[in-house]
Structure formats: structure tokens, C-alpha cells
Amino acid sequence: MSCFLLLGYTFIEPYWLIVNTIPFVSSDIPPSFDGTTIVFVSDIHHGPFFGRWRVANLVERINRLQPDIVVFGGDYVHRHAKYIVPCFKELRHVTAPLGVFGVLGNHDHWEDAELTRQQMSRAGITILDNLATWIVQGQERIKIGGVGDLWEDLQDVRPTLEDTDDSDFVILVSHNPDYAEFIPTRNIDLMLCGHTHGGQVTFFGKWAPFVPSQYGQKYRYGLIETPKTRVIVTKGVGTVTPPVRFFARPEIVEVKLKHE
């Protein structure tokens, strides 16, 4: 009986979306950005297991948080390119006064990368794949950039790092957290990554039998300190096949910047 209950629970957990608030403290954060909220969402996987109504509900949850900045970490759809247009018809309703940004993930390349880019732009999402921009507030600014997917694209971090120095607060968005092993300098203060789904099925949150990473459990989930940077890896929102989760609840990550 307990086995059937556990099995049933694995199909319920994917619908149990939470908000995970992470304070992020750094002396590089300008005073005018103290208290700034970044909402980070990845791995929506809109498709047969994550219907359009769930994308609409996700947008409502994001906007309810009243974020200053929204970042999408890629893997917007699952299994078929026909889901791309309806997904971004919902995501275009996301609002954030300092901007909405995003990168592509491996699934976006597998389905239709060009259509994904087109729909991101139409939805008002600034594409960061191998690109970067400054976010300005008053007389101060922070930089946000991204790299292409580690499995399916090139990665050029130079646009993110150019015109920055040690005192600038720099955010890098990479769908795959393994790229943290390859960043060339310590000038990146924060990486935002998805891809792993937190393992999706875990042994009570402690260990996952499968993590799509070359580094085992290291980048499965959470705030990870490396010699060069700090990395936030989200468990994501959707699922891949099978459409189950176990002690890896889907989440919206809310990063609260704090000037030290």
C-alpha cells in the first residue's frame, strides 16, 4: 500500500510549485540595487506534461512577486516545436521594471532554436546567449550576460566580462551549470543555472540517481560556492519523461540582492 502511495505522490509533486527565496549578499552590489528582486525560472518544458494553463499560472505567480528583474534559464518546451508559440504567448505577460531576460537550453535547440529566439523577442525577453547588457538604476548599474547552451551551442563569455572590473556586480546566465567549471575569471559574482531539475527524482532530497552533469551531485541544486564564483541552480518548473518528481519540488527562485 505504501508503495502505491509513494508512486502516486511522484505524480502529484510536479504540481506543487513553491517560491524559494535566496538572499544574495555582495559588496559589489551597488547601494541603489540593495533590495532588488530577481525572479529566476527555468525548465518550463511546456508540452504534453505541462499544459498552457500551467504556463499561465506560472506567469501569474511570477507577477505576484512583483520582481524587479526576471530571468528565464531555457528549456521552454518539451518534445515538439508546436509548443513554442503558445508558451511565449503566455510568457509575454511577465512584467519587470528593470527587464526580462533569458537564454536557450538544450531542448530549445532540439526543437527549434530560431523560432524560440523569434518568440522570445516578440514576448519582450532580451536574449542573452553570448550577449550582455547593463541594467541601470539611477547613477549605478549591474551587468547581466549569458552564454549559449553547453551541449548544443558555443559559449562566449567575453561580452559579459568586457568593460567590467573587480568592483562591478556581474551576473551570468547559463542553462547548464557545468559551465561554472570553465569561467575564466573571478569577476562573475553570480551564475544562474537550470538544466538539472534538482535530479527530478531523488532519495528524499539527499541524492539523485541521475543528474545531467559531468560533476555528479555537485551542481544538482541550490547555492554552490566555487573557487571563482557562486552558482544558483534551480530545480526548475517542469519535467521531462517520466513526468514525475520525488523530493525535488518545482520552484520559482526569488533572489534578493543585498549590498554589504
Give the model's confidence band at 7: pLDDT under 50 very low, under 70 low, under 90 confident, else very high.
low
Contact between 196 and 220 (Cβ < 8 Å): yes
pLDDT score of 232:
99
Q: How far apart are CA 138 and CA 121, in angstroms?
A: 26
Residues 68-89, mean pLDDT to the nearest whole number: 98
| Contact indicator for 233, 22 with CB cutoff of 8 Å | no
- Give 77's DSSP letter: B
What confidence score (pLDDT) does residue 9 get?
80
- Is there a cis peptide before residue 242, judged by omega within 30 degrees of 0? yes
Quick one: average pLDDT of 62-67? 99
List, for residues 157-213, the tens digit of each pLDDT value: 999 999 999 999 999 999 999 999 999 988 999 999 999 999 999 998 999 999 999
pLDDT at 1 over 60: no
pLDDT greater than 90 at residue 5: no
Whether the pTM exceeds 0.75: the reply is: yes
Q: Which helix (H) or strand (E) holds 118?
A: helix 113-122
Q: What share of the chain has pLDDT > 70, as a percent? A: 97
Please determine, for residue 117, whether its predicted confidence score (pLDDT) is greater than 70. yes
Q: Which residues contact 124 (CB under 8 A, 6 or more apart)?
A: 92, 100
**What distance in Å separates the CA atoms of residue 248 and residue 144, rounded to the nearest whole number?**
28
What top-level class would CATH report for the domain 2-259?
A: alpha beta
Q: What is the largest CA-CA distance in the chain?
A: 62
Q: Which three cell numbers stand for residue 112?
A: 527549434
Are β-strands 37-41 and 190-193 bridged in parallel, bridged antiparallel, or unpaired? Answer: unpaired
* Predicted pLDDT at 2: 67
Count of residues in the chain: 260
Predicted confidence (pLDDT) at residue 132 exceeds the cutoff of 90: yes
The predicted model gives 133-155 an average pLDDT of: 98
**Cα–Cα distances in Å, from 120 out to 18, 56, 98, 115, 251?**
25, 16, 17, 8, 21
Q: Is it the case that residue 50 has pLDDT exceeding 90? A: yes
